[in-house]
Amino acid sequence: MPLFNMTDLRAQLLPGHRLLGIDPGAKSIGLALSDVTLMLATPHSTLRRDKLKVNAASIARIAQKEGVGGLVLGLPLSMDGTAGPAAQAARDWAHAMSTETGLPAALWDERLSTSAVNRFLIQEADMTRKRRAEVVDRMAAAYLLQAALDASRPQSA
């Protein structure tokens, strides 16, 4: 299944469908859900990174249960905006995840999302390191999904 740009993915969603934000890491995968109006992203859950088919089955179950019509996956660009080996691996994983789940997908720049979330959790929420580790992945997924929703919101005339 081809990858879409965020505006096209949003435009092709059926009314009432949500987007699922995915922040794939080496050990875990953070998930976040949009609301049905595509205005607000909320942290959902964290999956342990496993074989693609196992993770895709879990994501497909969540998508079915939550009325998800598309995926927004984090794209780890370099700080200068170029795509290195990690970005290519993310593209390959996104294609495979889209194909396995049968859901259209878009990639979104995730640079500094985990850093921003960690900084917030330390400074504003005053969370312990252990508690931060439990929530950072799904909050990073919400951070990147919210950025994608904000940037792709149709402009009013």
What are the domain boundaries of the chain? 3-152
**CATH architecture observed for domain 3-152:** 2-Layer Sandwich (3.30)
pLDDT per residue over 18-73, tens digit each? Answer: 999 999 988 999 999 999 999 999 999 999 999 999 999 999 999 999 999 999 99
Maximum mean pLDDT: which of 86-100, 108-122, 128-142: 86-100
**Residue-by-residue DSSP string for 24-41:** E-SSEEEEEEE-TTS--E
What CA–CA distance (Å, rounded) separates 66 from 79? 34
Strands 68-75 and 18-24: parallel
pTM: 0.86
pLDDT value, residue 8: 95
- Contacts (Cβ under 8 Å, ≥6 apart) of 76: 86, 87, 90, 110, 111
pLDDT per residue over 80-108, tens digit each? Answer: 777 778 889 899 999 999 999 999 999 99
Single-letter residue type at 49: R
pLDDT value, residue 20: 98
